[in-house]
């Protein structure tokens, strides 16, 4: 866990080891399981030579405005680079020592001629009542309980304390005052990041039922979204903080820190030892019941019909539990070909979870802007493309809501660089598409780089080149933390030599804007919310099929990129709010978009009627919004009236020989038997005028087509994200672009 943007950070199981030296940690840090490491520095390298910083003496507005269509950060009337550090060290009430490391990074910011430091502020640590709730004589016992995961006993042992009238009066403002004044003297801006869902110990003691709980009953020390008590006290602190510093010369803006790791997310996934689902707290349960009343208009018969439960009421409705992981082959095949969890109560719960965290984000972002309209608001943003695994469980899927927020000005992502990072096409594609997506919607963007064991300075240089090519900012994470799990994951602190490499490359590399704000002619459509219903994981030999349909879409994008075919990504919810956005593209890809409704379908049909092309892939258009089998959507997309399904798996198929789309791949066999687990829709191809480009092989059923087209509609029903057949698939996609997109 981290000290700054710190809870449960890495999104992947990229294991790294580091020699650790035990450090005695105060109780506050142990509450969230932070373990500090001793960093072993090599010889201090030469610094980047820059002019001496000028102290900041006059408050300035900050804002984002376009320069040559690229959203840029301005301070006063000057364009300002988005560069700096994000500290993991946190101010701790009464501890002068706790801010010395933050000062060190303020010094580095000035020394390397960067712009700002983002400073995390946690109510757990900066609240002066810490030793009242946890007096010295019980601290060792509290530490033992925490380390053993006995959180309920931990809470019971805390000393009782009345909740204050105003939580802001318990904050050690003197530490923050000192940091602001010190930063101003060094010519460095600060961005405070108040950790909204990590409360003081007195709050944990008094409002235990408002702490998030998992489906297994485990407690998290993260507050429930929209807890009225957290909202009351956290808002008091933020209000006081903004009023205190909004006119300080060193203030650049505010960082929005909501959720388990500041990413507007739930705990669980890859962020805690408990891989369960959240939130099953008492307050969340009660809010869910109220949500159901509003969703169903308090009509009990409609609720019972939807849930298929004649005894459910708005008073006894419970949050559903997720289905178990899969250890049977037939069950895995069925799951892959179905639309995910079909239970309406699970659909409702996922929608509730999404709306709860969006409501919380909007509340706090609006609070910052209402209190201080003259400074920018930063936020980590969910970003396209959506991945499988922890993203779905933590609900980090709502990137359009960040892009469309009137309260958020600057967004960022937090990948970790390691040796070989830039050799992985999927990582490069994900990062570049995310930057472009937000820039095209008016947000300034930066990448906060974390050190996941990178020792190759060339990898670091490529991070900077990426920033310059995409006109994005670059921020360096302090790190020094451990993500505990079955195998601990370490995040390092960049050495001075590595930081020098970042800075010197940054100052010697010009911005080219090669990959920023340009629009492609081809777009992949995602449905992030409905992806959260496709969550079950395979066990043992079936683990490789986990997230099958989502990974197919991801690999499809990677194949496009490696073939140097440009594309954008947009979400279904953006299309439904603004169908005209499709008119910007010549063709769209619908890859495993199993569930549809009439509004989404109509937008696609109108788009095709106006000359747009549809590339229909895999399990698309076979179910309604709630997961009921309904092939009407696929029939209308194909403009046919009859369709069946050929239930076959582990098949091979071959291209035919006589079409421009097959140039260079005529007759090629696609022998991917083990990877093809999706069933194939079938219909009377000749009756409806479709040209067949590929069929199942003779031993399977050559009457069944796998690829075909008619006019501006192309279907590809087997798996498409097949690296083993990369060359043939890319040749097809190149041909498709020439005819389908370029019109040649």
Q: What is the reported pLDDT for 680?
A: 98
What is the C-alpha separation between 434 and 384, in angstroms, rounded? Answer: 6
Q: Give start and end residues of each alpha helix (H) in 424-456.
A: 425-439
* Section 664-670 average pLDDT: 94
Please, which residues bridge with residue 681 across strands? 645
Is the pLDDT assigned to residue 671 strictly greater than 70? Answer: yes
Which fold would CATH assign to domain 27-280+334-508? TIM Barrel (3.20.20)
| Euclidean distance between CA atoms 615 and 693, whole angstroms | 14
DSSP E strand boundaries for 242-298? 253-256
pLDDT reported for residue 489: 66
pLDDT, tens digit, 9 for 90 and up, residues 92-127 = 999 999 999 999 999 999 999 999 999 999 999 999
- Which ranges constitute the DSSP H helices of 148-211? 151-157, 173-185, 201-206
The two tokens of residue 667 are 């007759």
Quick check: helix, strand or coil at residue 663?
Answer: coil
pLDDT grade for 516, boundaries at 50, 70 and 90: low
Q: Is the pLDDT of residue 277 over 70?
A: yes
What would the mean pLDDT of 158-185 be, rounded to a whole number? 98
- Residue 610: closest CA among 629, 591, 584, 628: 584
Indicate the range of 230-234, 270-274, 686-690 predicted with least confidence. 270-274
Angle (nearest 5°) at CA 39 between 181 and 190: 20
Domain with CATH 3.20.20.80 in the chain: 27-280+334-508
Cβ contact 12:450 at 8 Å: no
Q: Taking Cα atoms as reference points, which of 6, 36, 540, 483 lies closest to residue 273?
A: 483
- Peptide bond preceding 86: is omega within 30 degrees of 0, i.e. cis? no
Beta strands in 469-557 (DSSP E): 473-477, 481-483, 489-491, 522-526
- Examine residue 385 and say whether the peptide bond preceding it is cis (omega within 30 degrees of 0): yes
Q: What is the mean pLDDT of the chain?
A: 89
Q: How confident is the model at residue 275 (pLDDT cuts 50, 70, 90)?
A: low
Alpha carbon distance, N-terminus to C-terminus of the chain: 54
Q: pLDDT band at 517, cuts 50/70/90?
A: low
Give backbone dihedrals phi and psi of 524, rounded to 5 degrees, phi first: -100, 130
Distances (CA, A) of 596 to 103, 517, 621, 633, 709: 53, 30, 6, 7, 22
* pLDDT digit string, tens, across residues 120-159: 999 999 999 988 998 989 989 998 998 888 889 999 999 9
Q: Where in the chain is the domain with CATH 3.40.50.880?
A: 522-741
What average pLDDT does range 632-642 have in this prediction?
A: 98
Q: What is the pLDDT at residue 673?
A: 64
What confidence score (pLDDT) does residue 727 get? Answer: 92
Give me the mean pLDDT over the 323-334 stretch: 96
Domain 522-741 -> CATH class:
alpha beta
User: Does the pLDDT of residue 652 top 80, yes or no?
Assistant: yes
Residue 10 has pLDDT above 50, yes or no: no
């Amino acid at each position: 866990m981290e000290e700054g943007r710190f809870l449960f950070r890495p999104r992947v199981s990229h294991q790294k080891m580091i020699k650790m030296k035990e450090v005695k940690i105060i109780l506050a840090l142990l509450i969230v399981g932070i373990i500090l490491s001793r960093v072993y520095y090599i010889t201090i390298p030469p610094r980047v030579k820059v002019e001496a910083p000028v102290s900041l003496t006059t408050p300035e507005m900050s804002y984002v405005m376009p320069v040559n269509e690229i959203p840029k950060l301005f301070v006063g009337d000057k364009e300002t680079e988005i560069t700096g550090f994000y500290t993991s060290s946190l101010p701790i009430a009464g501890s002068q020592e706790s801010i010395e490391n933050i000062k060190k990074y303020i010094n580095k910011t000035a020394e390397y001629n960067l712009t700002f430091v983002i400073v995390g502020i946690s109510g757990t640590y900066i609240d002066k009542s810490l030793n009242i709730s946890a007096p010295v004589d019980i601290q060792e016992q509290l530490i033992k309980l925490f380390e053993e995961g006995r959180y309920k006993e931990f809470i019971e042992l805390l000393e009782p304390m009345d909740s204050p009238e105003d939580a802001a009066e318990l904050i050690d403002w003197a530490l923050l005052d000192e940091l602001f004044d010190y930063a101003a003297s060094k010519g460095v801006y600060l961005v405070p990041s108040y950790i909204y869902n990590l409360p003081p110990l007195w709050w944990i003691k008094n409002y235990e039922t408002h702490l998030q709980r998992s489906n297994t009953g485990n407690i998290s020390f993260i507050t429930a979204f929209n807890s009225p008590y957290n909202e009351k006290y956290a808002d008091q602190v933020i209000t006081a903080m903004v009023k205190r510093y909004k006119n300080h010369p060193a203030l650049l803006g505010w960082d929005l820190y909501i959720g388990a790791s500041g990413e507007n997310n739930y705990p669980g996934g890859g962020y805690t030892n408990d891989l369960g689902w959240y939130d099953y707290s008492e307050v969340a349960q009660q809010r869910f019941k109220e949500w159901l009343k509003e969703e169903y208009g308090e009509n009990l018969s409609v609720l019972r019909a939807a849930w298929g439960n004649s005894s459910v009421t708005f008073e006894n409705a419970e949050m559903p539990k997720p289905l178990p992981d899969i250890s049977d082959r037939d069950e895995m095949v069925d799951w892959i070909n179905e639309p995910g969890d079909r239970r309406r109560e699970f659909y409702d719960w996922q929608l509730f979870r999404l709306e709860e965290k969006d409501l919380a984000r909007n509340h706090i972002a609006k609070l910052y802007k209402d209190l201080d309209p003259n400074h920018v608001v930063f936020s980590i943003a969910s970003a396209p493309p959506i991945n499988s695994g922890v993203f779905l469980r933590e609900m980090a899927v709502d990137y359009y809501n960040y892009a469309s927020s009137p309260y958020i000005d600057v967004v960022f992502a937090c990948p970790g660089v390691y040796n070989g990072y830039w050799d992985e096409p999927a990582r490069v594609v994900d990062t570049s598409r995310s930057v472009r997506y937000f820039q095209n919607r008016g947000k300034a963007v930066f990448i906060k780089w974390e050190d996941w064991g990178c020792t190759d300075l060339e990898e670091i240089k490529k991070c900077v080149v990426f920033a310059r090519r995409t006109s994005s900012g670059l921020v360096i994470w302090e790190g020094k933390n451990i993500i505990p799990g079955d195998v601990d994951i370490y995040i390092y602190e960049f050495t001075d030599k590595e930081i020098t490499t970042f800075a010197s490359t940054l100052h010697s590399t010009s911005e080219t804007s090669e990959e920023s704000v340009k629009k492609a002619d081809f777009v992949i459509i995602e449905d992030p919310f409905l992806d959260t219903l496709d969550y079950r994981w395979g066990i043992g030999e079936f683990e490789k099929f986990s997230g099958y349909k989502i990974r197919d879409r991801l690999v499809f994008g990677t194949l496009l990129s490696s073939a140097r075919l440009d594309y954008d990504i947009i979400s279904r919810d953006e299309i439904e709010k603004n169908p005209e956005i499709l008119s910007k593209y010549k063709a769209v890809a619908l890859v495993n978009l199993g569930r549809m409704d009439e509004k989404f379908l109509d937008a696609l049909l109108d788009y095709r009627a106006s000359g747009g092309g549809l590339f229909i892939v895999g399990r698309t258009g076979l179910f309604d919004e709630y997961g009921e089998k309904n092939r009407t959507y696929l029939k209308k997309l194909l403009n046919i009236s009859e369709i069946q399904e050929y239930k076959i798996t582990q098949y091979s198929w071959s291209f035919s020989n006589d079409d421009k789309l097959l140039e260079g791949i005529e007759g090629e066999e696609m022998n991917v038997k083990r990877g093809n687990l999706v069933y194939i829709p079938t219909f009377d191809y000749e009756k409806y005028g479709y040209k067949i480009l590929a069929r199942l092989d003779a031993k399977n059923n050559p009457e069944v087509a796998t690829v075909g087209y008619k006019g501006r509609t192309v279907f590809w029903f087997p798996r498409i994200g097949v690296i083993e057949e990369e060359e043939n698939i890319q040749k097809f996609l190149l041909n498709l672009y020439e005819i389908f997109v370029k019109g040649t």
